[in-house]
Structure 1
Amino acid sequence: GEAATMFRHRRALAALVVAALAASASAFVPSLHSPLNAARLSAASAPRGLLPGRVGASLATGLPLRAGRAHVGPMMQSAGAVTPENPLKVIVAGGGVGGMFLAKALQKKGIEVEVLEKTNKFARFGGPIQLASNALATIKGIDENLFDRVMKKFTFTGTRTNGIKDGIRTQWYTKFNAISDMADYFTLPYTGVIDRPDLQELLLDEIGGDDTVRRDAEVVKYEQLPGCEGVRATLKDGTQVTGDVLVGSDGIWSAIRAQMWDQDSRGPKSGTTYSGYTCFAGDTIQRTDYYFDVGYQVYIGPGKYFVTSDVGRGRTQWYAFLALPEGSKSRASNKDYLYELFNDGPEGRWSEEVFKVLDATPDDQIDQRDLFDRPPSVLRSWSDGHVTMIGDAVHPMMPNLGQGGCQAIEDAYVLAEKMGGVTDRSQIQGTLSSFYRERLPRTAICQGLSRLASDLIVSAFDTPYQPASQDDRFGPLGGPLSINSIFTALLRPFMGAIFYAQFGYLYTFHPKKCTKEEIEVLVDEVMTRHRVDAEAVWERVGLTGKDEQAENREGSGLSFR
């Protein structure tokens, strides 16, 4: 009896010593997170029967352990422990799409967020932005209610005919069936568009408006604080803001990136270079025979291409993508300039569908933007200490795949998921490095595909060759007979497979799928509203091309970023 009791006590004491040693070691092993977790882990993994029931249960649950007169309370947490009373605080530099989706995703994880936006007010600026199926599945993964609110302002394009057209003959060159087929394969919502101002307003509401966003607050530099104290951001007016993490979501001319990589924020020493392409963009109200049947069309020809897309409420957005020197803006009328380019070139007059949308667009609604680009940052980390970057700050993309904003939303989701697992501030640096390593391959591939699409369409594509039996305008041998025209014709049979591979890869990132029934209901609701809204706008404006009751929106923006 007494010997057996003493033996049990010795076993219990030995187990306590093992637990204490494990708890001490956990301070140097981040995966154990805290001494308390280490003690619980030791108790939970001890061989059955090693610990008396009451002792083992106390260690496993963290309850006070009583043995005679002795009392052992819960082990002390480290000073950097993340608790409800001492939550993480993340500073987001930049209140664009990526920054605000990140704020929402972090708030869902119980993390405090302050968004520092350089503009002094959020004006209703910019045109529609494309959200592909992978981005919609990511938004759904961030927050179901946010996804539902986006759908109420959304217009599907992926449910309809999309593809590339011969810009001279107005014939389909290839169709993007992969957009809808791959969405069906993964049971994802279809690609579509939402007005940037609508998305901005609902995101502001979702993250708490002025309680979360500080305006007129441009971050110009930051300072890493010692130990696990975090980071201090300095604003343009000299104000300083301190947090555990600083996220640079401040666009292609990022001040965060400039400091982290010791570069200029813009200019020849910034690492950001002119892509060789400029883009004219506009949107207008237009009623066509195919408005409800076609999502978007890419008209190809030599040295340039033209895109049109239904963007909801009876409107068509378009952009012309041209290979021109940087700063080619010295003209009195953008519309006259585009008319000349697409009417008087050696290839002849382009499709009347192109000129119809140009005719319907007021000259003052046509914007131009030179497109800048960066190579993937394979040799430089996005993260340094308690600072990291997302979106265009680190992986800007050409607009051809419509993945710029989508990849920023993916960044937001992945970063929030990783930050949500941080239980001690000593883990932050490793967590941010892990975020960079996970996101680098995918964003680099998307950057490469976007740039390749730009170079191919502008530099390699041309009016496809056709034999004289199909088009006798070029003589008995058919035409055009240029190398690029023949290459374009020869590539045509392979385009379908190329697009299935492309969209199949893009859609592999889908944190939260829909059911087929959910998708059917969404399509019915969204497209029914789409038709009603379009008919109402057309009736109200009398197809003048200008909506007198439109919201006070400035600029057309670039929807396919």
Structure 2
Amino acid sequence: MTERLSVAVVGGGIGGLTAALCLVRAGCDVRVYEQAGQLSEVGAGVQVSPNASRVLHGLGLAEALAATGVKPLAWHQRRWDDGRTLLRAPLAEALEATFGFPHYQMHRADLLDALAAALPPGVVFLSHRLAGFAEDTDGVELRFADGRRARADVLVGADGIHSPVRQALFGPDRARFTGCVAYRAVVPAERLRHLGLEVTAQIWMGPGRHFVHYFISGRRLVNFVAVVEQDEWTRESWTDRGEIADALAAFAGWHPQVRDLLGAADETYVWALFDRPPLPRWSVGRVTLLGDAAHAMLPFMAQGAAQAIEDGAALAACLRDIRSPADVAGALTRYERVRLPRTSQLQAMSAGNKTRFHLPDGPDQEERDRQIADGSQAWSLNAQAWLYDYDADALVS
């Protein structure tokens, strides 16, 4: 193209900022419109696996990720009551040697800050709540709640599980409550020194619930997520306050390390876990979706953020070489065709892990543990090669 393709990204989270940075590197004129008055992420951890760090390193963020990210030594799966090891799959050097890029455990805010710092000035526009949009022959016009307007050749909805862009494209919908709620918190690592915690991602599995914890923020903090099955929930929120006493009661009888971690938190948030079935399509004309707006999934494969990061790389690759704005719709169809099968598979696998993690003690649990030990389940390193070795840019190119 003789003129730069203009792209409007609605949503300034991890997926939106990654897409923006990828698109800038691809030569596009990018604007990110975020409804909040500042870029921020909730106080929670995120796993950045090699399929995602490949993209981020390619964007020049290796030094920033190394400054705050933690490279876990292993996935460590354990029994809920006695702490017995079910699987210890090596990460750190072994993972990097196999796939070429590291696995990081990070605070979401640290990752968002790294992405924002890498963007050139004038790309991110805060306090812009999308009120609607309309496509015409020349592009897409965006309307914001305060009356402001903007135009672009392409509109990308990176606006989360409640995505107004998705609803405008495909009509109103409702997320599915998955029957699980999660208590989450971060705890100063100094407060937990007496536990002698390993630098691993530990997953404790038990009847009707599981518990995950790992270091973040240069090992200064420990992030935990305690997932409990529950019959109903009426809100979708990351910011509802929970009660430590309720979390402790839910994990009564569990290993002392789990209960010590729960009891060390000053506060916790309770987060109902929702997902949506895979969409049959993501794009209409010059408008498409990315991240949770396109493929909200349970966090039981630790791939929600990673898949949004992959989306950004794939989208930029599809738009990079088009010759005119008239080619946008075809490029977005290609993006959708490349990405939708993979994310749909991960949505299904994440949902399946709810059952596997929460089996009651008995024959099915014993068979699961046997499969974990022999490496035939999806959380073993050998079985993860298809996931970690993925190169979103190369597969599009």
- TM-score greater than 0.5 by the shorter chain: yes
Pair 1:221 & 2:221 matched: no
Structure 2: distance between partners of 1:193 and 1:490:
28
Structure 2: distance between partners of 1:287 and 1:433:
51
- More strand by percentage: 2
Deviation at 1:496, TM superposition (A): 5.1
Is residue 179–residue 503 contact of structure 1 (8 Å, CA) maintained in 2? no
| Partner residue, 2:89 | 176
Larger radius of gyration: 1
The amino acid that maps onto 1:150 is L
The SS at the match of 2:193 is coil
| Partner residue, 2:278 | 376
Q: 1:279 to 1:109 in 2, by over 3 A?
A: same
| Partner residue, 2:355 | 455
Q: 1:243 to 1:322 in 2, by over 3 A?
A: same
Query: What is the RMSD of the two structures over their aligned residues, measured on CA atoms?
Result: 2.3
Pair 1:308 & 2:213 matched: yes
| Partner residue, 2:263 | 359
Q: 1:123 to 1:432 in 2, by over 3 A?
A: closer
Write the deviation string for residues 184-216 of structure 1: whole angstroms up to 9, x where unpaired: 322222x1222222222232222135x111111
Q: 1:359 to 1:493 in 2, by over 3 A?
A: closer
Is residue 182–residue 504 contact of structure 1 (8 Å, CA) maintained in 2? no
Q: 1:233 to 1:502 in 2, by over 3 A?
A: farther
Q: 1:179 to 1:277 in 2, by over 3 A?
A: farther
Structure 2: distance between partners of 1:325 and 1:179:
38
| Partner residue, 2:175 | 272
Is residue 278–residue 326 contact of structure 1 (8 Å, CA) maintained in 2? no
Pair 1:187 & 2:100 matched: yes
The amino acid that maps onto 1:441 is P
Is residue 241–residue 268 contact of structure 2 (8 Å, CA) maintained in 1? no
| Equivalent runs, 1:425-436 vs 2, <5 Å | 425-436=325-336
Unpaired runs of 5+ residues, structure 2, are none
| Partner residue, 1:554 | none
Pair 1:505 & 2:386 matched: yes
| Partner residue, 1:106 | 23
| Partner residue, 1:258 | 167
Is residue 38–residue 126 contact of structure 2 (8 Å, CA) maintained in 1? yes
The SS at the match of 1:136 is helix
The SS at the match of 2:7 is strand
Is residue 300–residue 462 contact of structure 1 (8 Å, CA) maintained in 2? no
| Equivalent runs, 1:327-342 vs 2, <5 Å | 327=233, 334-342=243-251
The SS at the match of 1:176 is strand
The amino acid that maps onto 1:375 is P
Structure 1: distance between partners of 2:340 and 2:180:
25
Q: 1:201 to 1:161 in 2, by over 3 A?
A: closer
Pair 1:150 & 2:65 matched: yes
Is residue 137–residue 512 contact of structure 1 (8 Å, CA) maintained in 2? no
Q: 1:288 to 1:317 in 2, by over 3 A?
A: farther
Q: 1:326 to 1:155 in 2, by over 3 A?
A: same
Deviation at 1:414, TM superposition (A): 0.7
Is residue 183–residue 507 contact of structure 1 (8 Å, CA) maintained in 2? no
The SS at the match of 1:175 is strand
Q: Choose which of 137, 147, 153 in structure 2 pairs with 1:244.
A: 153
Deviation at 1:333, TM superposition (A): 6.4
Structure 2: distance between partners of 1:87 and 1:492:
50
| Partner residue, 1:138 | 55
Deviation at 1:168, TM superposition (A): 0.4
| Partner residue, 1:88 | 5
Structure 2: distance between partners of 1:511 and 1:89:
22
Is residue 248–residue 263 contact of structure 2 (8 Å, CA) maintained in 1? no
| Partner residue, 2:45 | 128
The amino acid that maps onto 1:327 is W
Structure 1: distance between partners of 2:319 and 2:18:
14
Deviation at 1:427, TM superposition (A): 0.9
Identity across matched positions, percent: 25
Unpaired runs of 5+ residues, structure 1, are 1-81, 265-269, 344-348, 464-481, 514-561
The amino acid that maps onto 1:90 is V
Deviation at 1:217, TM superposition (A): 0.7
